[in-house]
Amino acid sequence: MQAKPLPDDLLRGFRSLCVLAPHPDDEILGCFGLIRCAQRLGLRIEVHVVTDGERCFGSLPASEEQALRAARQQESCAAAALLGYPPPTFWGLGDSQLLEQAALVERGLQNHCRADALCVAPWCDDGHPDHEVVARALRQVAAPGQCLHYPVWGLVDKARREQFFALDAVHGMALAPPERALKQQAAALFATQFSRHEAADAIVRAEFLAAFTTEHEYYLHAH
């Protein structure tokens, strides 16, 4: 897919990268390359995981839901350790409930989206309500030129993919083979998403994982 490269000076002038992940794993599937670029430039990395993704398999008994919360948080922490940035901050808002908690999302962003941070959130038409709430909240809070948006589910839905790549402000970032291999290694840490009782229950099916870990990442550069 052809897209303009991200500007070389995109991160210049910022002291930190603030990554907003609606669920554990979004920070790696959608934003790995930008995190690595910020690390090379010496920026502070802050990953904020808005929900624990506890309803990815629907409503579960309370004990199972709590165990899934803990497992998903642990997966995000393991990915952070692998890449060498601090453990994420977990907001603990309700998975698949952010439409009702949009004011809390916006308040959280006001606390963390500082003027010296480049803030990154999912694309506003990514196909998951939680992703879209976080995207809209960032647009309300961030200054012009302070935010980027990344697709996740928009990469694996044909209509949304076409919609995303039709946007003029889409930019691409190439991942060198060692970096792509590291992204694949990090993505593999999110084992809860690959199966529950059998492969048919996977949230991130094999073909989705392949789409999320190609040699390119894409970002919408909001001005």
- Residues 25-34 as b/e (b if ≥16 CB within 10 A, e otherwise) read bbbbbbbbbb
Hey, what amino acid is at 160?
R
- How far, in Å, are 87, 133, 169 from residue 81 at the CA level? 7, 28, 32
The phi, psi pair for 75, rounded to 5°, reads -65, -45
Residue listed under structure tokens 């890449």: 83
Residue listed under structure tokens 């709590």: 66
Specify the pTM.
0.94
Gap between the Cα atoms of 155 and 152, Å rounded: 6
* Spacing of C-alpha 42 from chain mean position: 20
Q: Are 76 and 25 in contact (CB under 8 A)?
A: yes
Torsion over CA: 212, 215, 217, 218 (sign): negative
User: Among the listed ranges 110-114, 116-120, 183-187, 196-200, which one has the minimum average pLDDT value?
Assistant: 196-200
Given a cut of 70, is residue 1 above it in pLDDT? no
Highest mean pLDDT among 19-23, 64-68, 193-197: 19-23
